[in-house]
């Protein structure tokens, strides 16, 4: 009897390993990122994980940041985006309203052709979801934020179920090459709570609906914590938002484990047209993973 049980367990393990292996293969592979055509705008999204300021060593610590900051800059340069929306760009020291942002300072210091939108004094603007832009290509016209909360216009308000604050930042740009005016909404929903995700995306739909109705060009990018084609995404799809069809994993557990489909997405409505991509860089840089997500990019025309 025990031999039969052991044989059955062994068979189950083999099946599970095979399934995981198939998932890994299906969701892997890095997309080459070609030079963008002159008439296109390259937009990207990247979850870079927060830094824990009070931790000297270990995962996501100050010591870990010293290891991965060079590779992160290399990944940023490899994407070569005109606009990149970031999530979890936070140096966490116990308060949401900290004015320390090691990642933002590092990337701006090492990429002088870029500036940051969707950021400001931390008592007025949450700084952890900035949108970096190539300042010779676009200019900022406006910016704002709203929290995924019953009080969305209260800064650092906790989410609908009382969890950690989560929000959408946004910026309006003018393309200096084409003259096109457009907005980028940058979001990060709660990974742990389905109801929070549903209500958060419903709030995004409510906030962008007037812009969509006015015919504005609009992008919605970020970490949706939802897969392509999910009911979560369809909430914005009902407004006409289309999504760049990202295939394979965009989250890899900081280990290169590509076990499920993309959760980081770029949506667009009201004028933008997908010209190339999307591209996902599933690569180490200088032998290291820069973070636990991969950058996602796509090229657009208006």
Whether 19 is in a domain gets the answer: no
How do residues 20-78 score in pLDDT, each as one tens digit? 344 554 466 787 788 998 889 999 999 999 999 999 999 999 999 999 999 999 999 99
The domain in which residue 248 lies consists of: 31-301
How many Å apart are CA 106 and CA 104, to the nearest integer? 5
pLDDT, block means (10 residues), the chain with 302 residues: 49 36 58 87 98 97 97 98 98 87 98 97 96 97 98 97 96 96 98 97 98 98 96 97 97 96 98 97 97 98 96
Please tell me the pTM assigned to this model: 0.91
Whether 12 is in a domain gets the answer: no
How many Å apart are CA 271 and CA 180, to the nearest integer? 9
Tokens representing residue 229 in the block? 């084609």
CATH number at residue 258: 3.60.10.10
Whether 296 is in a domain gets the answer: yes
Total domains, the chain: 1
In the block, residue with structure tokens 């997405």: 265
pLDDT score of 23: 53
Tokens representing residue 111 in the block? 């990429």
Whether 223 is in a domain gets the answer: yes
| Inter-helix orientation angle 62-79/102-110, to 10° | 40
Task: Tell me if the bond preceding 278 is cis, omega within 30° of 0.
Answer: yes
Whether 281 is in a domain gets the answer: yes
């Amino acid at each position: 009897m025990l031999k039969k049980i052991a044989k059955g367990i062994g068979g189950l393990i083999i099946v599970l390993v095979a399934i995981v292996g198939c998932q890994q293969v299906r969701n892997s592979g890095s997309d080459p990122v070609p030079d963008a055509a002159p008439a296109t705008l390259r937009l990207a999204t990247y979850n870079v994980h927060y830094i824990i300021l009070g931790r000297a060593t270990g995962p996501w610590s100050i010591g870990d940041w010293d290891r991965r900051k060079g590779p992160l800059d290399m990944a940023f340069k490899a994407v070569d985006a005109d606009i990149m929306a970031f999530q979890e760009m936070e140096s966490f020291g116990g308060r949401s309203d900290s004015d320390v942002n090691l990642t933002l300072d590092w990337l701006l210091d090492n990429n002088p052709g870029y500036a940051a939108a969707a950021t400001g004094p931390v008592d007025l603007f949450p700084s952890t979801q900035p949108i970096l832009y190539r300042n010779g290509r676009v200019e900022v016209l406006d910016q704002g934020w709203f929290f995924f909360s019953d009080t969305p216009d209260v800064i650092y308000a906790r989410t609908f179920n009382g969890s950690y604050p989560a929000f959408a930042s946004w910026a309006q740009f003018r393309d200096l090459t084409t003259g096109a005016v457009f907005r980028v909404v940058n979001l990060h929903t709660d990974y742990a709570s389905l109801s929070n995700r549903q209500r958060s995306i419903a709030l995004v739909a409510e906030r962008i609906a007037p812009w969509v109705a006015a015919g504005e060009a609009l992008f919605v990018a970020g970490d949706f914590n939802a897969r392509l084609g999910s009911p979560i995404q369809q909430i914005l799809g009902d407004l006409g938002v289309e999504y760049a069809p990202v295939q394979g994993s965009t989250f890899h557990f900081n280990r290169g484990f590509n076990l499920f489909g993309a959760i980081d997405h770029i949506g667009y409505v009201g004028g933008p047209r997908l010209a190339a991509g999307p591209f996902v860089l599933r690569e180490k840089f200088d032998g290291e993973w820069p973070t636990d997500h991969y950058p996602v990019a796509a090229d657009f025309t208006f």
